[in-house]
Amino acid sequence: MIKILKYGAIGKDEIFARNESELDVSDIVSEIIADVRQNGDAALIAYAKKFDKAELNSLEVSEAEIEEAFQLVEPEFIGILQEAAKNIRTFHEKQLRQGFSIRQENGVVIGQKITPIEKAGLYVPGGTAAYPSTVLMDSVPAKIAGCKEICIATPPSANGKINPVILAAAKIAGVDRIFKMGGAQAIAALAYGTETVPKVDKIVGPGNAFVAEAKRQVFGRVSIDMIAGPSEILVIADGKSNPAYVAADLLSQAEHDKMASAVLVTDSEELALAVQSEMEEQLSRLPREEIARTSIENNGKIIIAENFEDVLAVANEIAPEHLELCVDNPFDYLDKIQNAGSIFMGRYCPEALGDYFAGPNHTLPTSGTARFSSPLSVDDFIKKTQFTYYTQEALAAVGEKVAFFAEKEGLSAHARSAVIRLEEKK
């Protein structure tokens, strides 16, 4: 049963505690990365056999496999994928940046240009579950940014095939290449390249502890989006909220995995008790009851605050991945939410809308990193380059100041690089 805590009556350590994974896989991941770097495709094929029970003749998905998969997915779901992709595209197109230049009267020009990352690697979890939503959320922004090559890594099934819905989503999103590889070995291949897999410039996408650790270890060799922790939801709800709705929303995250976190913050003790009871009733009907129940019992909590100001303060301190604002006038509170990955507003906006369909990205900062991090966006697939132009006359006007500044930092060669040009003018 989910526990109920009263804010102010117990220590803040317990209120804001997060259960972090104690699994240390760094040594295992280091060995896998070294193996892939040394043995390339052969290592990937061996790991597919070891971890996925798949005998692979080829690491790359063929066009024929993609077309076959597209035909295997029911037309109704193809239509839903296309509509979701359209919504995601509409949202992310608004994120496109433009370069700029500032031209001054003395001939100086300063500015910034925008260049897309050339090659993007997207990790899509697989195995027992398939996540076509991740394909859309990660690849559509990369496509909008203008990446020349978008590659997906996803683990194969034991039959050596990729789940058809993954391939269908990739086709709809315009992914260029798809590889049958998962885990830390996939991250290593994308970071360093193999005979078949190209080395990419950035790796994005969620994964298990091995994937997260591999991303951590290859960072610097390539860019990454974030180190994702367990999935989280925090629901802010007042006393007028429907406890069945709130319970269902909390369980929607609890069923992800046993480390997931589901939190309700409310100023209504009556609602807290009703949600606690409702969750028990709904849990018994969930196909993934064992996973959800472990998550709720270990990581779930209902926090009761005395007033709505404290409710908002608690939410901002937790800085959740997903935040639901279940009140009548949610826009009145939007600016008071400072720390959250994605906010779902009103009584008819479950977080699942964001997972699949609404358009805003579902790859979000976790573990409190919403205090300083942002959702995946088009910005993740571009780079900004500055440029500066000075005429001889413009440099002459400021060169002595530049030299003086450089000397203050003890960098005489810096100073000389400016002064030598002033001497030329004289």
Q: Which residues are catalytic?
A: 321-322
Nearest residue to 299 via CA among 272, 264, 259, 266:
259
Beta bridge partners of 204: 122
- CA–CA separation, 281 vs 283, rounded Å? 6
- CA dist 257 to 35, 253, 267, Å? 29, 8, 28
CA dihedral 307, 309, 314, 320 (to 10 degrees): 120
80-100 exposure pattern, b = at least 16 Cβ within 10 A, e = fewer? ebeebbebbbebbeeeeeeee
> Quick count: other Cβ atoms within 10 Å of Cβ 24?
10
Which H/E stretch holds residue 406?
helix 392-408
Q: Tell me which residue has tokens 């595209």.
A: 89
Question: What's the 3-state SS for 149-210?
Answer: EEEEEECCCCCCCCCHHHHHHHHHHCCCEEEECCHHHHHHHHHHCCCCCCCCCEEECCCCHH
Token pair of 82, please?
A: 């296309």
